[in-house]
Structure 1
Amino acid sequence: MVETIEMSVTSVVEQLDDRFEVVVIDDGSTDGSVEILERLEAEYDRLRVCYDADNDNLAEARNHSFEEARGNYVLASLDTDDQYTQCIREFVDLYHQFEVGFDGDFFLLGVGLYIAPRNLLLDVPYRSLGYGEDRDFFRRLIANGSLLSLEHRNVEYSLGYDRSLRERFEVGFETMAVQFQSGLHFWPYVRWACEEIREEGGQELEWYRGLAHLVLAPFAYLRSLRGPHYEAPPEFTDIGRYKEAVRRTHMTAEEMADYLGVELDWEAVGPRGRAIFDVDEAGIIID
C-alpha cells in the first residue's frame, strides 16, 4: 500500500475541481502510509483524511466515508493499489443527465466506481461483513428499485499488486461464505452452480468456476454459521433470481437513456467521456 498510495490518491484529486472533496479513511496504517497522506493533505485542499478510524472491515470504512462526506452526492471507491484515468467529472455529468429521468434517488454502478446521493447511502448502508459485502449491498439496492448498472470501458488500472493463488482462493471462499451470511439460501446456490456447469446452461462462469462453486459451497455454508447473519430481500434469497435481476439493470448509456426517457447530451460529457462511456453493447456482468 505504501508504494502505491500516492499515485492512487493523486490520480483522483488532480482531476477534480472545487466542487469535489476526496475523503480517505485510514484504519490505523503502520506501513508509512500515514506520513504520505499527511503530506498530500497539506498539499491538496480538496483532500481530507480521517486517521485511526478503527473500522473492523471495508464495509464499515465505506459507511464511515459516507458519514464524513459533506456533499450531496458520494462517489466511491478506489483501492489504494489502483488508479483512475481521467473520467470522474464525465461520469458525474452522465449521472446527472440520467437523474432527470429517474423518479427518486438512485445508485449508478460502474466498473470500479459508482455515484449516489449521500442520503441513499446513509439509508441503505453496507452491512458489517467480510469480502463480498458489496453483493449484499447491491441486492438491497436492486430490491428497492434504486440501482442501475452502466457498461463502459476500463477506467481503473492496477498499480502492480497481484494476489497470490492462495490469496485469491481465500478471498473467493470468504466471499462465498459472506453470500450465505447475508441471507442467500444454500440449495438455490447449489442449483445455480450446477446450471453454470452445464454445457449450454452457464451464462456467466466457465464450467470449472461453476464446479468450484459447487464443491466449495457446503464448506462456505458451514463457515458462514460462525459469523453474523442478515436477512436478504425475500425475492433474492435465490442467487439465480438475483443474477437475473443484475442482468436486467445492466445497460449501455444509450440503453439507459432510452429506459429513463432522456436524451443524452454527449457534448456536455465531452469527447474523452464519450470515448469511455459510449459503448455499443452491454456485456455480461459478474457482480
Structure 2
Amino acid sequence: MVKYTISVCNYNMSETIEHSLRSILNQINDEFEVLVVDDGSTDDSPEIVESLQAEYDRLRLIRLPPDPGRHLGETRNIGVRHAKGDHVILQIDADDVYEDVLKGFVEIYERLRDHREEAFLLRATNLTVAPKAFLEQRGPYRNLPVGAEDLDMWRRLLAEGSVVWFVHRDPAKEIGISENVYGRMRSGLVRGVQVRTGEFQTGLSLLSRIRWSHRQWRSGNRDLHEHLAELPLSAYSYLLASARPQYDLPDQFKRKGQIDSVAEEVSLNLAGLEAEFGINRSELNLTDLQDRVFGSV
C-alpha cells in the first residue's frame, strides 16, 4: 500500500528531470510513489519520464494538454487529486536533486502526527507534506503562477494555526539549466512578474509591495537596482492581476512581508520540535546525513 505520494510538477525540464527523479526514486521504498504531472511540455521531458518508468515501477506520469489558463496552483491540485497515497509530499522541483533525506523527513512528520490531534501541513525547506484529504478540504491550491501558489496556501493555513513551520539545512540542490546571460535575465524577469501577479491576485496591496522593497533596500537586503525596478515591475504585474481571478487573504497577511515576521515567530528547528511537541530526537531513526540536515539550524 502506498502511504506517501511525492508529487512533482514538470514543464519543459528535459535537461534536469532525469537527474532529479533518480535522486528521489533511488531513496524510496514501496510505501512511496512518485507522480509526475506534466503541464503540457513542448520538449521531450515526458518521454524521458516514460523511459524511466521501465526502470522504476513506483513512477507514474500524468500528461496534461497545454492550457494557458492553468497555472502551477491548479497543476499541484491535479497531483493531489491523483495521488494514491494518504499523504502527499509537495514542493519537489524537477530541476533539483535531493540528498537521501525523504525517509527521515517522513519519520519526523509521523512523530509530529502522534502529538497533534488535528491534521496539519508540515512546511520544511524545499519539502512539504500533509494528508491528501487535508489538502483537498483545507486548500486547495488557488490557480496562481509559480512562486505565489505556495505563499498563498501558507498564509491561509498559518492564519488558522494549521502549519508546523520547520527550518533546517536545504537538502535540495538546483541542477541549473544551460542558459546564456540574456536567458537567465529573462527567466528571472518572467518569474518575478509571475510571483508579483499571483500575490496581487490574492489581495496583496501594491503600496505594501513598494514599501517592502524600500525597507529591504534600506536594510541592505536588496541592491539599489532591484529596488528601482520594483515600481515598474509591480505596476505591470498589478495590471496583469486585475484581469485575472481575484482572491482574498486573511487580514494579517495583506501587506507584503507580514508572512516573514509570522513565520519567524512560529518557526522551529529540530530541537524546537522536540520541546514543543515532546518528540525524542534520540528515538528518531535518522541516518547521520538526515540528522545533519534536519538538526543543523
* Residue segments in structure 1 that go unaligned for 5+ positions in a row: 282-287
SS at structure 2 position matched to 1:78:
strand
Structure 1 runs of 4+ aligned residues shifted over 6 Å read none
Using the aligned pairs only, state the percent identity.
33
Q: What CA distance in whole angstroms lies between the structure 1 residues aligned with 2:210 and 2:43?
A: 41
Superposition deviation, residue 17 in structure 1: 0.4
- Residue in 2 that maps onto 1:72: 86
Superposition deviation, residue 81 in structure 1: 1.9
Superposition deviation, residue 75 in structure 1: 0.7
- Residue in 1 that maps onto 2:285: 268
Q: Deviations over 1:72-126 (max 9, x none)?
A: 1111232222211111001110111222223311111122211111111112111
Q: What CA distance in whole angstroms lies between the structure 1 residues aligned with 2:293 and 2:88?
A: 21
- Residue in 1 that maps onto 2:40: 28
Superposition deviation, residue 210 in structure 1: 4.7
CA RMSD, 1 decimal: 2.2
- Residue in 1 that maps onto 2:171: 155
Q: What CA distance in whole angstroms lies between the structure 1 residues aligned with 2:75 and 2:278?
A: 36
Match of 1:126 among 141, 155, 163: 141
Match of 2:63 among 26, 51, 68: 51
* Residue segments in structure 2 that go unaligned for 5+ positions in a row: 1-12
- Residue in 2 that maps onto 1:95: 109
Aligned length: 276
Give the TM-score normalised by structure 2: 0.84
Instruction: Give the AA of the match of 1:174.
Output: Q
Q: What CA distance in whole angstroms lies between the structure 2 residues aligned with 1:252 and 1:58?
A: 29
Whether 1:175 and 2:195 are equivalent positions in the alignment is yes
Q: What CA distance in whole angstroms lies between the structure 2 residues aligned with 1:196 and 1:269?
A: 38
Instruction: Give the AA of the match of 1:243.
Output: D
Q: What CA distance in whole angstroms lies between the structure 1 residues aligned with 2:163 and 2:227?
A: 26
SS at structure 1 position matched to 2:93:
coil
- 1:27–1:206 CA distance, 2 compared to 1 (3 A): closer
Superposition deviation, residue 247 in structure 1: 1.5
- Residue in 2 that maps onto 1:62: 76
Q: Which sits farther off after the overlay, 25-34 or 244-253?
A: 25-34
Whether 1:231 and 2:263 are equivalent positions in the alignment is no
Equivalent positions of 1:4-15 (< 5 A) are 4-15=16-27
- 1:182–1:42 CA distance, 2 compared to 1 (3 A): same
Superposition deviation, residue 12 in structure 1: 0.8
Superposition deviation, residue 172 in structure 1: 0.9
Is the CA contact (8 Å cut-off) linking 1:98 and 1:257 kept in structure 2? no
Is the CA contact (8 Å cut-off) linking 1:97 and 1:264 kept in structure 2? no
Whether 1:104 and 2:118 are equivalent positions in the alignment is yes
- 1:220–1:38 CA distance, 2 compared to 1 (3 A): closer
Q: Which sits farther off after the overlay, 29-38 or 179-188?
A: 29-38
Equivalent positions of 1:235-250 (< 5 A) are 235-250=252-267
Instruction: Give the AA of the match of 1:88.
Output: L
Superposition deviation, residue 175 in structure 1: 0.8
- 1:212–1:97 CA distance, 2 compared to 1 (3 A): farther
Is the CA contact (8 Å cut-off) linking 1:194 and 1:211 kept in structure 2? no
Is the CA contact (8 Å cut-off) linking 1:25 and 1:53 kept in structure 2? no
Q: What CA distance in whole angstroms lies between the structure 2 residues aligned with 1:207 and 1:15?
A: 40
Superposition deviation, residue 32 in structure 1: 2.0
Is the CA contact (8 Å cut-off) linking 1:8 and 1:81 kept in structure 2? yes
Superposition deviation, residue 215 in structure 1: 5.6
SS at structure 1 position matched to 2:32:
coil
Give the TM-score normalised by structure 1: 0.87
